[in-house]
């Protein structure tokens, strides 16, 4: 396949720039496409189609979005999404406030809190009772009527842009609902659409693949294939049996989904969350996760987006081992040219590890790997999201900290699911796999930090401790580098909601316990309520974050040696600016030597803590900075 340079009969700045970008990307697009599809019988035809899809995407892009693209690219040295001014929140529109129209009334709420990037959980049509929270899409372009319609969405988008806020949406890239048109046509025997999925006439290949493919939902959806009676065939369903995996070996599927990527881009999406990209290529004899071809597909998407809709950043939702995650930022020639964002899921889980054990050593053992993230890319940092918490970090990290990996994980699972004697945490195990002993953890930030239990026993001291833990967890993730992504409800300390147990669409999936329905009783505005305390503190953290420019992600994180396993510390530095962040993860008071601050060339004499508004005189090396249980400090040299 060869691309031809394009000439359009234009000429304005945006189009000029487009031609330049397109021509620059053309060689890469061709090479990446050929890697995947050169041998496919429809390769040529589909390639021409792809080029047209790219050109059409630019043509359809609105003037305001084209201008925004240029603005976002204005600072060539620093991508817009690295800024310390960005802070996100993920939310389900229906559970947060009912409808898209209602959400417009809530924009002041986000601004008040300090949130300016809205991640709206999947809004496109999904069948009732088979939706996986919106991740089983039956129409990629039709807003589900539960939320409103496309015009409501467009109005919301305008309002968001007017307020200089940003928008993040998902593309559910790995699979469709079995009620999607493509799946329905496949079921009716249409060969073209059967080729959009992975169909098998018998169990021979599925059985082979099953030998090495892990199960994602072993309790509610065991195995990776579903029998389709109408066809007497098996179809690949890695997630639930109603989610059919798309066959990206077929270039027509790639084109359809690339066109959908552009449809979202042209709706004004600033960050596109590519759902489950680790799974998009399958190969016998492998786990069918994180394969090279999956990366090639992501790199191809990036090149196409860079050409036509460059203002849209890409987020790979790959919740994978630390050694694998780094590859989602691109490798070799495509370093920093794959996804702009990835979730720092390892750090997220390790914070829970540190909080549960009061020992930061496992968290620190992982950092060398996490620091490899390329310049110009960034993390989504978070303490909770709508999914479970997996303890997928390496055994070696646990071993290096002196623990037995099996026992250590068992402790954490018991601690957070409420089985460990006297644990303050209230969560539950999710996706327990009897065969492998694996399990993940569900529960809200507040419940896992002990608030649910403390409220139940009306124990003021324990309530305060839980609040301190919540804020410690948030602070660690707000300052470490990347765009913080709050999960709605956490800013008010929502505890687990057990009503999902009575809902047939949800009762097989306990992740719903941490997806609350917001009750707008405005308690968070009433002084001294628990909600108010948590809201105010979260707000304060975000205000501080916006004040400190050095917190922009310039790959400028250095861990400190605190010589105290209870305490993690790092500093963020750029030019002469620096800020030290210190966190006591344990329930005991402790101290670190002032020497901690003198290891890295600078010798600060006075440090100002933004959190307490308090100045510290840096003492001698044999003197100590005292820390209360779960205390943290955000210290800038004065």
- For the CB of residue 442, give the shortest distance to ligand GLC in the complex, in Å: 12
The closest of 470, 515, 465, 424 to 132, measured between CA atoms, is 515
Binding mask 166-205 for ligand GLC (x = CB under 6 A): ------x---------------------------------
- For the CB of residue 172, give the shortest distance to ligand GLC in the complex, in Å: 6
Gyration radius (Cα) of the chain, Å: 25
Query: Other C-beta atoms within 10 Å of 263: how many?
Result: 15
Query: How many residues in total does the chain contain?
Result: 638
Q: Which residue is nearest to ligand GLC (CB)?
A: 135
Nearer Cβ to ligand GLC, position 342 or 634? 342
- Give the up-direction half-sphere exposure of residue 158: CA atoms within 13 A in the CB hemisphere: 9
* Interface stretch with ligand GLC, choices 22-30, 127-135, 476-484, 524-532 (CB under 6 A): 127-135
| Complete DSSP assignment for 42-99 | THHHHHHHHHHHHHHHHHHS-HHHHHHHHHHTS-TTS-GGG-TT--EEEE-HHHHHSS
- Is the distance from CB of 472 to CB of 466 less than 8 angstroms? no
Binding mask 316-345 for ligand GLC (x = CB under 6 A): -x----------------------------
Residues with Cβ within 8 Å of 504's Cβ and at least 6 positions away in sequence, in order, are 129
The closest of 233, 231, 209, 232 to 223, measured between CA atoms, is 209
- Spell out where 61-206 has E strands: 88-91, 117-120, 124-125, 139-143, 166-172, 175-177, 199-200
- For the CB of residue 438, give the shortest distance to ligand GLC in the complex, in Å: 16
Grouping H, G, I as helix, E, B as strand and the rest as coil, residue 528 is coil
Nearer Cβ to ligand GLC, position 129 or 188? 129
Grouping H, G, I as helix, E, B as strand and the rest as coil, residue 325 is helix
Nearer Cβ to ligand GLC, position 65 or 172? 172
Nearer Cβ to ligand GLC, position 123 or 276? 276
- Using the rule CB under 6 A, which residue among 110, 173, 239, 512 binds ligand GLC? 239
Rounded CA separation 47/255 (Å) = 9
- Does 487 engage in binding with ligand GLC (CB under 6 A)? no
Lookup: tokens for 24: 């620059």
Q: Report 128-147 residues binding ligand GLC (CB under 6 A).
A: 132-133, 135
Q: Report 436-455 residues binding ligand GLC (CB under 6 A).
A: none
Lookup: tokens for 154: 């467009």
- For the CB of residue 488, give the shortest distance to ligand GLC in the complex, in Å: 15
Lookup: tokens for 245: 């995996």
- Using the rule CB under 6 A, which residue among 259, 275, 340, 452 binds ligand GLC? 275
Q: Report 23-82 residues binding ligand GLC (CB under 6 A).
A: none
- Is the distance from CB of 594 to CB of 581 less than 8 angstroms? no
Rounded CA separation 500/506 (Å) = 6
- For the CB of residue 444, give the shortest distance to ligand GLC in the complex, in Å: 16
- For the CB of residue 322, give the shortest distance to ligand GLC in the complex, in Å: 18
Binding mask 375-404 for ligand GLC (x = CB under 6 A): -----------xx-----------------
CA distances from residue 48 to 28, 298, 624 in whole angstroms, order as listed: 15, 19, 67
Binding mask 490-509 for ligand GLC (x = CB under 6 A): --------------------
Nearer Cβ to ligand GLC, position 176 or 584? 176
- For the CB of residue 175, give the shortest distance to ligand GLC in the complex, in Å: 7
Rounded CA separation 526/350 (Å) = 34
Rounded CA separation 38/44 (Å) = 8
3-state helix, strand, coil in the chain (%, to 5): 40, 20, 40
- Does 125 engage in binding with ligand GLC (CB under 6 A)? no
Nearer Cβ to ligand GLC, position 61 or 240? 240
- For the CB of residue 91, give the shortest distance to ligand GLC in the complex, in Å: 14
The site for ligand GLC (CB under 6 A) is made up of: 132-133, 135, 172, 239, 275-276, 317, 386-387
């Amino acid at each position: 396949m060869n691309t031809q340079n394009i000439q359009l009969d234009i000429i304005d700045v945006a189009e000029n720039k487009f031609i330049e970008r397109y021509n620059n990307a053309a060689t890469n697009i061709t090479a990446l496409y050929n890697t995947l599809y050169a041998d496919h019988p429809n390769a040529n035809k589909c390639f021409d189609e792809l080029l047209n899809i790219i050109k059409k995407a630019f043509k359809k892009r609105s003037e305001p979005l084209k201008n925004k693209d240029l603005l976002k690219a204005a600072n060539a040295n620093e991508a817009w999404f690295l800024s310390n001014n960005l802070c996100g929140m993920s939310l389900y529109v229906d559970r947060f406030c009912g409808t898209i129209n209602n959400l417009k009334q809530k924009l002041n709420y986000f601004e008040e809190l300090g949130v300016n990037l809205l991640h709206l959980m999947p809004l496109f049509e999904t069948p009732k009772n088979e939706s996986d929270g919106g991740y089983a899409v039956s129409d990629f372009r039709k807003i589900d009527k539960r939320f409103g319609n496309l015009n409501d969405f467009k109005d919301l988008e305008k309002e968001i842009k007017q307020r200089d806020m940003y928008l993040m949406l998902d593309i559910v890239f790995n699979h469709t609902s079995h009620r999607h048109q493509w799946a329905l046509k496949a079921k009716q025997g249409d060969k073209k659409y059967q080729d959009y999925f992975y169909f098998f006439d018998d169990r021979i290949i599925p059985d082979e693949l099953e030998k090495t493919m892990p199960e994602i939902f072993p309790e509610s959806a065991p195995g990776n294939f579903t029998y389709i009676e109408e066809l007497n065939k098996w179809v690949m369903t890695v997630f639930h049996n109603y989610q059919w995996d798309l066959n990206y070996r077929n270039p027509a599927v790639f084109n359809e989904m690339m066109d959908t990527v552009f449809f979202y881009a042209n709706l004004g999406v600033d960050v596109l969350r590519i759902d489950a990209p680790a799974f998009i290529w399958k190969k016998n004899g492998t786990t069918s996760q994180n394969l090279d071809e999956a990366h090639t597909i992501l790199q191809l998407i990036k090149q196409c987006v860079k050409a036509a809709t460059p203002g849209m950043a890409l987020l790979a939702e790959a919740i994978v081992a630390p050694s694998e995650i780094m590859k989602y930022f691109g490798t070799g020639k495509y370093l920093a040219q794959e996804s702009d964002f990835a979730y720092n899921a390892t750090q997220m889980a390790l914070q829970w590890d540190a909080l549960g054990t009061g020992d930061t050593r496992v968290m620190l053992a992982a950092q060398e790997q996490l620091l490899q993230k390329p310049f110009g890319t960034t993390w989504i940092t978070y303490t909770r999201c709508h999914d479970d918490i997996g303890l997928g970090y390496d055994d070696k990290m646990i071993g290096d900290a002196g623990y037995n990996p099996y026992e250590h994980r068992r402790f954490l699972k018991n601690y957070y699911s409420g089985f460990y004697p006297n644990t303050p945490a209230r969560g539950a195990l999710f996706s327990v796999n009897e065969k492998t002993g694996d399990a993940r953890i569900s529960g809200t930030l507040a419940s896992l930090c002990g608030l649910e239990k403390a409220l139940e026993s009306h124990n003021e001291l324990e309530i305060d401790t839980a609040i301190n833990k919540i804020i410690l967890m948030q602070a660690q993730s707000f300052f470490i580098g990347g765009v913080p992504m709050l999960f709605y409800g956490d800013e008010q300390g929502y505890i687990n909601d057990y009503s999902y147990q009575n809902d047939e669409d949800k009762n097989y999936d306990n992740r719903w316990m941490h997806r609350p329905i917001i009750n707008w009783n405005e308690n968070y505005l009433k002084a001294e309520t628990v909600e108010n305390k948590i809201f105010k503190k979260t707000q304060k953290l975000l205000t501080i974050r916006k004040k400190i420019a050095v917190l922009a992600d310039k790959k400028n994180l250095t861990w400190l040696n605190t010589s105290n396993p209870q305490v993690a510390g790092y500093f963020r530095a750029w030019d002469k600016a620096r800020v030290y962040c210190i966190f006591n993860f344990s329930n005991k008071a402790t101290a670190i030597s002032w020497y901690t601050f003198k290891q890295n060339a600078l010798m600060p004499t006075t440090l100002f803590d933004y959190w307490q508004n308090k100045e510290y005189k840096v003492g001698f090396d044999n003197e100590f900075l005292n820390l209360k249980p779960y205390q943290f400090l955000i210290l800038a040299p004065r």
